[in-house]
Amino acid sequence: MTDGDRGGAPPDGLRVPRDEGPGDPFDDALALANEGRGTVAADAGAGGGATGGRPVPGGEHPASGGDRPGAGGDRVVGRGERAEGIPSGADASAAAPRRGPADLPWHTARRIAARAVSGPPGPTTTALGEALGRTLAEPLTALTDLPSFDTSAMDGWAVSGPGPWRLDRPADDAATGAHPGILAGHAPTEALLDGHAVPIATGARVPAGATAVLRREHGEVRELAGGGRRLYAPRLAPPGQDIRPRGQECRRGDQLLAAGVLVTPAVLGLAAAAGYDELTAYPRPRAEVLVLGDELLDSGLPQDGRIRDALGPMLVPWLHALGVEAPAPRHLADDADTLYEALARSTADVVITTGGTASGPVDHVHPTLRRLGAEVLVDGVAVRPGHPMLLARLAPRRHLVGLPGNPLAAVSGLCTLAEPLLRTLAARRPVEPYRAPLAAAVHGHPQDVRLVPVVYRDDERHGLTAEPLRFHGPAMLRGIAAADALAVVPPGGADPGTELELLELPWSAGWAPGSSAAGPAAGAPYGFSGGAE
Ligand SMILES: Nc1nc2c(c(=O)[nH]1)N[C@H]1C(S)=C(S)[C@@H](COP(=O)(O)OP(=O)(O)OC[C@H]3O[C@@H](n4cnc5c(N)ncnc54)[C@H](O)[C@@H]3O)O[C@H]1N2
Ligand code: MOO
């Protein structure tokens, strides 16, 4: 199935229940996405666009069956969009405010985002250091035995047979006058004779004939009257003691890690140890952040009704933490043509816009998507904050995630739509939902999921719990900045002790930082130097 296939409109007349059944296929989810509020572009244009196929302020939405042309593959547009030809902003007063019940269920929206692309682009082979944060496209197979030779695990003496031992001096030490013995990195030495010992360092090759390594602190060297030295041990040195035999960890050709594993710092270390100079992995997705809003300042204190841009400084490093390449954010004026140009020219896999998703006079995202002929996959999600978030396909493998301007609403959109899409693009496995009981009650929205910042607490009486934080309003970042995770609070709220799904934040979850290749300096927004909130 191609990406284009996946994005087509649902078969005509398909109706799916709102709750999530097991195995709910993508098409069903997409049908749900468009049920009752999507209409095709041509239809919207002909019908005036103001109300066709989208919810109206009173809460009802027009019946979806009658006004929808039947052919599958029609481009679906979301509610609140204007028909082609109507200037952006011209019908702002008639634009429908966002309403909860028509929004997609939160889990469904995440699934649509995850499946908006069929998979990652083809893998590439890069130098080891460039692979951090990428996903292995091939199994990591040992290119050598590990260890690749019998290795001393301790500083001391390699001994042969039961003691006491006559102490040898390795041939290559003779010239130096020092007696360090066999050091790590040395070429093989001559075989050790039965009843002999030779000094050896941790990591050095154990000579042929050695039966054990005796730790330095366990042996005593005595000078013999007739010259020479003898090594005594108060205890036995059983065969194999403190020798790491060749191939103990793996044999050449053993599979060390499966394809699909995230390249973490530890994976880089293992790959290097196993002989790799390069790794074949899926490329990092490339994102571009467009910050919309004439009211935004990129430095200094808020003044004259203008406020600091909180999203540019937050989103780019957040994307880096998700293993995504993203240059410094671009700040665009509230102008429809500017946004159109930026979207039309962008070559990023995912363009992330902030602001302009609602129905205000300068909210240009929806009209611009229509102008571009984009296919809207998600247009509003039943989640608070952030419900006006959207996902659109600009081209078969290029998408736009529209984040609402309120900063915590933007975080919600990032976690709900951008993260699953980027995860698929990066070939990262979905994370198993993590759950913990709530330490305190959380109020719920009547219909929508709420995402509430929480910190983990661990005490003897309650074990690990998630404690909800204050300052979780849509415009506030004070809670999320202190949080370990976002709790997924079901409609109606949750009592203390209720186990809730938790979305871990990329710096507290298993995401590897992905910024090294992108260059943190390049992504440093505006030379950002401190928090304004
Ligand atoms: N008539 C209605 N109005 C609004 C509705 C609605 O249902 N009906 N929904 C509200 C909700 S919920 C949200 S969220 C916002 C979404 O608005 P936009 O995505 O269009 O964003 P803006 O209007 O541009 O900005 C909203 C708010 O956020 C501030 N903002 C924007 N960008 C930034 C930034 N980079 N850093 C900090 N703050 C930012 C902006 O100044 C506004 O205060 O719509 C509601 N309206
Ligand atoms: O999405 Mo809005 O208020 O829920 O921030």
Q: 397-430, pLDDT tens digit by residue? A: 999 999 999 999 999 999 999 999 999 999 998 8
Phi, psi for residue 173 in degrees, rounded to 5:
-90, -15
- pTM of this structure: 0.76
Q: How far is the CA of 99 from the centre of ligand 2 (A)?
A: 11
**73 C-alpha vs ligand 1 centroid, how far in Å?**
32
**312 with 301, same domain?**
yes
Question: In this structure, are 308 and 417 located in the same domain?
Answer: yes
Kindly give the distance from the C-alpha atom of residue 465 to the centroid of ligand 2, in angstroms, as a whole number.
27
Q: How far is the CA of 430 from the centre of ligand 2 (A)?
A: 26
C-alpha to C-alpha distances, 505 to 116, 259, 323, 414, nearest whole angstrom: 22, 25, 13, 11
Residue 10 three-state SS: coil
Distance 406 CA to ligand 1 centre (A): 5
Q: Alpha-carbon distance 256 to 243, whole Å?
A: 22
522 within a domain of the structure (yes/no):
no
Asked if pLDDT for residue 78 goes beyond 90, the answer is no
pLDDT in tens, 224-235: 887 788 999 988
Instruction: Answer yes or no: do 311 and 420 share one domain.
Output: yes
Query: Can you give the CATH number for the domain in which 443 is found?
Result: 2.40.340.10
The number of beta carbons lying within 10 Å of the beta carbon of residue 225 is 6
Of ligand 1's listed atoms, the one at least distance from the Cα of 99 is: 7
For residue 80, what are its two tokens? 């609140």
CATH of the domain at 398: 3.40.980.10
Residue type, 256: L
Cα–Cα nearest to 443, from 386, 501, 384: 384
**What are 200's strand-pairing partners?**
156, 182
CATH number at 208 reads 2.170.190.11
Ligand 1 pocket mutation, candidates 335, 369, 406, 408, criterion most atoms within 8 A of CB: 406
> Could you give the number of structural domains in the chain?
4
- pLDDT at 172 > cutoff 80: no
List ligand 1's pocket residues with C-beta within 6 A. Answer: 97-98, 291, 293, 295-296, 307, 309-311, 354-360, 363, 385, 387-388, 404-407, 409, 474
Of the candidates 426, 458, 492, which is a domain's last residue?
426
% pLDDT > 70, the chain: 74
**pLDDT, tens digit (0-9, with 9 covering 90-100), for 180-219:** 789 988 887 889 999 999 999 999 999 999 999 999 999 9
Nearest ligand 2 atom to alpha carbon 474: 5
- Residue 436 neighbours by CB under 8 Å, 6+ apart: 456, 464, 465, 466, 499, 500, 502
Contact 18, 105 (CB under 8 A): yes
Pair (112, 184) in one structural domain: no
- Contacts (Cβ under 8 Å, ≥6 apart) of 238: 212
Answer yes or no: is pLDDT of 106 > 50.
yes
Closest ligand to the CA of 472: 2
Q: Which residues contact 188 (CB under 8 A, 6 or more apart)?
A: 149, 205, 207, 208
Q: Is residue 325 part of a domain?
A: yes
Q: Is residue 276 domain-shared with residue 292, that is, in the same domain? A: no
pLDDT at 72: 29
Q: Are 292 and 413 contained in the same domain?
A: yes
**ipTM metric:** 0.98
The domain containing residue 492 runs over which residues?
435-504
Separation between Cα atoms, residue 14 and residue 18, nearest integer Å: 13
